[in-house]
Chains A and B, each alone.
Chain A
C-alpha cells in the first residue's frame, strides 16, 4: 500500500494505492501517523487506486476517523472502487466514515 500525502494549507490530500491487508497494516499505520498527529482540518483521501482492504485495514480507517473527529476535523474518502466500497457497506463502516 503506497500512501502519498500532499499538504494544501490546512487540508491534507492523500493518495492510496494498492492492497491493505494484515501484512502491511502496521506500515500503513506508520504512514498515516502524520495525519493522526497533525492539525489538518480536512483530510481528503483519494481511493481510486486502492485494490483491497481487510478488516484490519478497516480498523485503521476507523482509528483515523476517531482521532480526526476528536479534534473536530473532517475525513473524506473518495473514488472508491465498487468492491472496496462494498466492504465498507457490509460492515456498516459507510455510516461512520464519509465516502463520496
Chain B
C-alpha cells in the first residue's frame, strides 16, 4: 500500500545502507591489509630469487678469482719459462668450465726483453676447441687495454668492464685481472681469466620469477652485462634506458645500483609498463636487478578485491530482501492495528483488534488500542446520553422561548392615532426582558421591563411580572396604583431578591396626556415634533419586587402630536464591542435626534437594533435587548 515508503522497505534500506557502509570500511581495511601482505610476500619472494641469482653469479665469480689466485704462485715461480706460461693458462681454462680464456700478459720488455709477450688460451667461439696463442702484437697492443692497465696501475686484482675482445677472444666477455709481483715486489705481469657474458645472460634468463619478469646485470659503470635484449649488452648503459623513462624512479634505482646499494623500487618503464624491481650488488661491483610487471605481480590483489566487492553486493542484496521480508512479517500486526483503527475511526467501535503474542512494543500498542477502544466506547455512550440530555434541554428551552415569545404581543395595532412597535432579543434562548401594551378605548397602556439576571431564572420571573402586569394593567387604575399593586404582587414569596425595573406609561390618545411611572428603569428617550431628542428624567422610585407598599409615584407629561418615545432596556446602552466600549446613552440620543419625521415605529425599532448590532461588530451579546418605540399622532 505504501510501496517504497513502507516501514519494511525503509528499514531494510537503512539496515542495508548501514551494513554497506560498515562492510565498505572493512573491505577497504582488509584490501589495504591484504595488499600490504601480498606486497611484502612478493618483495620477499623477489628478494629471495635475487639472492639465489646473486649467489650463483657470486659463486662463479669467486671460483674464477680463486682459480686465478691458485695459479698465481706457479706463474711467479716459472715466469721466465715460456712453455710453462702457456701451460698455466691452458690449465686454468681446462680446469674451470666457467673460464673461457686465460692469459699471462707480461709487462713490456720484462719477458726476455720482448715488448709483447702474452700467452693466451681460450675456447674458440666457433669450434669450441681450446687453443693457445701469443696475443700481444702491434695490432693487439694489450698494455693500453683496460684489463691490463687498471690492475697494473692500481696494483690489485680487478674485474674489467665487460667488453668485446676484438683480436683476443673475439667475443663479449669480462675479465678478472690479477697483477703479478716478483720477489722484490715489482709488478711484472697480469694473470687474467675471462668469463662469457653469454653465460651470464643465460643464467639471468633462467630466473623467471613471475610471468613477464626478467633479470638484468650491470657493471660498475652501469653498462648492461646481461639483459634479455642482447643488443643492449655492451651497447647501452642502464642510465641510457632509465633517462628515457617517463618518471625519475628508474634513474634513482640506476643510481642506487651503481653505488652498490640493495633495495626495491617501482617505476614506469619505457613502454609505459608499471614495473616492480628488486636489486642488489655483487661483491665485484656489479649489480643484479629482477624486474616484474607490477600489475601482474599484484593482480592477485585486484582479483581478491573484486571477488570481495561482488560477494559484498550479493550479500547486501540478499540482506535487503531478507530484512524486508522479516520486518514485513514482524510488523504485520501494525498494518492490522492500522486497519482496526481505521474501522474504529469510521464509527465501528467494536472492531476486532488482532492478537499479539510477543511481549514487546507491539503488545503495548495493542493494549493501548484496546484501551482506546474501551474508552471511546464509554465516552461515546456518555456523550450520547449527554447529547440526548442536551437535546432534550435545548428542545425544552426552544419550547420555553416559544412560550415566552407568545407571551409578548406580536400584533401591533394599526391606528391613525399612534404607531407602536417593540422587540426583544434575549442574550440566551430565553431572557428576562419584556414589553407589553394594552389598548382600551382611548387609553394605550404600555411597558418595557428588565428582570435582574438572565436566562431561565430571569425568564421565570419575567413570566410572573408579565402576567401580573397584563392583569392589573387592564383594570383601568391610575398608573401609580398599577405599579404599586404589581410591586406588592411580586413581593410575595420573593426570597431570592429578584427584582424588575420597568417603565410603564398610559397615553390618553385624544389629549396627548401621558401618565407614567418609573420603577428604577433607564431614562426613556423623548423625541419632540421638531426632531430634538432628550432623556426623560423621571423619578427613579425603586425597582419592583423589593419592598412591599413602596410608595411609587406617577408623573404626567403632555405629548404634542408628532412626538416619539423610545423605551429600551440596558441591553441597548450597555451593548459592548470587543474593545469594551459601550453603545452608551450619547450614541442613543444622537441616533434618536437624527430620526426622520416620517419613519414608522417599526422602522425606528429595527433601525436602532441594527445600529446596536453594527456597533458591537459581532461581539457576543451580553444582555437581553428590548426596544419599544411609540409614535403619537399623525406624522
Contacts and interface: CB of A to CB of B under 8 A. Distances in A.
Contacts of B543: 58, 91-93
B622 A55 contact: no
B488 interface: no
Query: Which of B454, B497, B521 is most buried by chain A, counting CB atoms within 10 A of its CB?
Result: B497
Contacts of A96: 542, 546-547
A95 B543 CA distance: 11
Contacts of A89: 540
Given A21-B622, A58-B452, A91 B497 contact: no
Most buried by A among B451, B452, B519: B452
Interface string B176-192: 00000000000000000
B452 A59 contact: yes
Contacts of A21: 622
B452 to A, nearest CB: 4
The A contact surface, by secondary structure, is: helix
A92 B540 contact: yes
B497 A66 contact: yes
Contacts of B623: 54
B542 A59 contact: no
Interface residues of A, number: 19
A93 B452 CA distance: 13
B501 interface: yes
Given A92-B540, A92-B541, A62 B546 contact: yes
A90 interface: yes
A63 B543 CA distance: 14
B633 interface: no
A56 interface: yes
B551 to A, nearest CB: 11
Interface string B474-501: 0000000000000000000000111101
A56 B542 contact: no
A22 interface: yes
B453 A93 contact: no
A17 to B, nearest CB: 16
B273 to A, nearest CB: 99
Interface string B602-635: 0000000000000000000011000000000000
Contacts of A93: 520, 542-543
B523 interface: yes
B539 to A, nearest CB: 9
B521 A55 contact: no
Contact of A56 (B452, B519, B547): B452
A58 B500 CA distance: 11
Contacts of B450: 55
Nearest to A57: B452
B453 A59 contact: yes
A29 B400 CA distance: 28
A97 B521 CA distance: 17
Nearest to B498: A59
B488 to A, nearest CB: 16
A91 to B, nearest CB: 3
B535 to A, nearest CB: 11
B496 to A, nearest CB: 8
Contacts of A56: 452-454
B297 interface: no
Interface of B: 450-454, 496-499, 501, 519-523, 540-543, 546-547, 570, 622-623
Interface of A: 21-22, 25, 54-56, 58-59, 62-63, 66, 89-96
30 contacts: A21-B622, A22-B453, A22-B622, A25-B453, A54-B623, A55-B452, A55-B499, A56-B452, A56-B453, A58-B452, A59-B453, A59-B496, A59-B497, A59-B498, A62-B546, A63-B497, A66-B497, A90-B521, A90-B522, A90-B523, A90-B540, A91-B520, A91-B521, A91-B542, A92-B519, A92-B540, A92-B541, A92-B542, A92-B543, A96-B546
